């Protein structure tokens, strides 16, 4: 491989990291880069290191930048495709953990809506819900994350297909 080619790819990696730092600064403010930050989702309170947000946004920006950049070359170059596949797999795994965390957030929603309103009323079929049901908001967010994960996997399949065509043609 050409040395200038490697330096150029490293420049894109550094640029995506700088963009991730800038996005964290815009989203969470200047003090988040020094300390941990807290997220309050529904009735759960998370305290996360700022590096977790930076790494997640770095993986997202790295995947997006390299995928869009390689459209010009029709995904036929080895190193950028490897970076796309690696960052895409990491992103799919992160989304899988996000979906899993969302599923465990609101476990008492089904209990809240399935209780009868008074002690004399009985439970009928319309008030009984499945025990593992999520609240509508978390259910929508869970569906969106699942759709994004499917889109990322389809993009990875497309990149692999285009890369394989290059190997097959040569």
Compute the average pLDDT of residues 17-22: 94
Q: How many CB atoms lie within 10 A of CB 161?
A: 10
pLDDT per position as a tens digit, 115-142: 455 555 555 544 544 545 667 888 888 8
Compute the average pLDDT of residues 133-154: 88
pLDDT at 12 over 70: yes
User: Residue 90: its pLDDT value, please?
Assistant: 97
In a domain? residue 118? no
- Its domain, for residue 79, covers 3-113+127-169
Phi, psi of 119 (to 5 degrees): -70, -20
Compute the average pLDDT of residues 55-69: 95
| Average pLDDT of the residues of the chain | 82
In a domain? residue 154? yes
Q: Where are the alpha helices (DSSP H) in the chain?
A: 3-28, 50-69, 78-105, 109-114, 136-169
Helix, strand or coil, per DSSP, at residue 32 = helix
From first CA to last CA, the distance across the chain in angstroms is 17
User: Residue 128: its pLDDT value, please?
Assistant: 47
Q: Which of 134, 127, 99 is nearest to 113 (CA)?
A: 127
Q: What is the count of structural domains for the chain?
A: 1
pLDDT per position as a tens digit, 24-41: 889 877 777 777 777 776
- Say if residues 49 and 8 touch (Cβ distance below 8 Å): no
């Amino acid at each position: 491989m050409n040395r200038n080619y490697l330096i150029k790819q490293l420049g894109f990696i550094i640029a995506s990291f700088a963009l991730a730092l800038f996005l964290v600064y815009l989203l969470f403010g200047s003090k988040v880069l020094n300390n941990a930050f807290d997220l309050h989702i529904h009735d759960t309170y998370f305290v996360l290191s700022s590096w977790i947000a930076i790494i997640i946004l770095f993986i997202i920006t790295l995947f997006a930048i390299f995928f869009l950049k390689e459209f010009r070359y029709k995904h036929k170059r080895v190193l950028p495709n490897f970076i796309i596949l690696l960052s895409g797999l990491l992103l799919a795994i992160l989304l899988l953990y996000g979906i899993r965390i969302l599923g465990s957030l609101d476990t008492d929603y089904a209990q809240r809506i399935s209780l009868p309103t008074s002690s004399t009323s009985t439970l009928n079929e319309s008030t009984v819900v499945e025990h593992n049901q999520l609240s509508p908001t978390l259910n929508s967010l869970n569906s969106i994350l699942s759709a994004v994960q499917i889109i990322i996997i389809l993009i990875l399949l497309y990149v692999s297909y285009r890369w394989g065509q290059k190997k097959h043609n040569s």
